[in-house]
A and B are shown apart, each in its own frame.
Chain A
Amino acid sequence: GESVGLHLPTLSVQEGDNSIINCAYSNSASDYFIWYKQESGKGPQFIIDIRSNMDKRQGQRVTVLLNKTVKHLSLQIAATQPGDSAVYFCAETAQAGTALIFGKGTTLSVSS
């Protein structure tokens, strides 16, 4: 079926550590992937995206890796800060601009 899932529901790290959040997707037709961050009481906030013709994309302190062979997506956050504490969702779509399919999310907790 068409679904996106995450490996771990929660992840706890120390401030300054690197965080890796994983996501598996099942629809091989998906060609556009996005990571969102959602803080309590707020809407999803765009972090970084990647197209299926790429396997890596970097932003400020974040890197997204895409492995199409095993249909796996990951988000790496460098030097994790308390402000990074939130729920992280990966989402996929078969065409940019159409409906996103979200996974259930990973709750990242950063302790000082």
Chain B
Amino acid sequence: NAGVMQNPRHLVRRRGQEARLRCSPVKGHSHVYWYRQLPEEGLKFMVYLQKENIIDESGMPKERFSAEFPKEGPSILRIQQVVRGDSAAYFCASSPRDFVSNQPQHFGDGTRLSIL
């Protein structure tokens, strides 16, 4: 079984451009989470989505950032008009629908976003 797949692994953008990060969850998982990690720090929660629904976006900046998880296809984290402070590693995690079994979140290997 394939794990969480993220692409691209590395993304370079100039200030003001748009960044699109993609995440394909583990097959059969319907819950996706996005986290951001700055160097030497732990992961910070951004947004939690189920298919076609945003469940919790309390960790996502109100401006320039958006996320979606369509019925078909990967989850997308979109950052518009990027700034240098957006440089970070962005991780996606997924978990199955069944909360009762307390399945942990499984992470992809992230997208390293660098803003020039």
Q: Does A45 contact B (CB under 8 A)?
A: yes
CB nearest neighbor in B for A105:
B42
Provide the residues of chain B in CB contact with A102, threshold 8 Å: 35, 42-44
CB nearest neighbor in B for A101:
B45
Enumerate A40-88 residues with CB–CB distance to B below 8 Å. Answer: 41-46, 49, 51
Contact with A104, one of B42, B45, B102 (Cβ below 8 angstroms): B42
Provide the residues of chain A in CB contact with B22, threshold 8 Å: none
Contact B108 A43 (CB under 8 A): yes
Provide the residues of chain A in CB contact with B42, threshold 8 Å: 4, 89, 102-105
Give A contacts to B, CB under 8 Å.
4, 32, 34, 36, 41-46, 49, 51, 89, 91, 95-105
21 contacts between A and B (CB under 8 A): A43-B6, A43-B107, A43-B109, A44-B107, A46-B105, A49-B102, A89-B43, A91-B43, A96-B102, A96-B103, A97-B99, A99-B45, A99-B56, A99-B58, A99-B59, A100-B33, A100-B45, A102-B35, A102-B44, A104-B40, A104-B42
Enumerate B24-38 residues with CB–CB distance to A below 8 Å. Answer: 31, 33, 35
Provide the residues of chain A in CB contact with B48, threshold 8 Å: 98-99
* Known contacts A41-B109, A99-B33, A103-B42; is-contact A51 B104 (Cβ 8 Å): no
Provide the residues of chain A in CB contact with B59, threshold 8 Å: 99
Q: Does B13 contact A (CB under 8 A)?
A: no
CA distance A4 to B108 in the complex (A): 22
Q: Does B72 contact A (CB under 8 A)?
A: no
Contact with B106, one of A46, A51, A101 (Cβ below 8 angstroms): A46
* Known contacts A102-B44, A104-B41; is-contact A45 B102 (Cβ 8 Å): no
CA distance A58 to B81 in the complex (A): 47
Provide the residues of chain A in CB contact with B45, threshold 8 Å: 99-101
Contact A46 B104 (CB under 8 A): yes
Q: Give the distance to chain B from A91, nearest Cβ to Cβ, in Å.
A: 8
**Among A96, A101, A103: residue with most chain B CB under 10 A:** A96
Contact A97 B95 (CB under 8 A): yes
CB nearest neighbor in A for B109:
A43
Q: Does B69 contact A (CB under 8 A)?
A: no
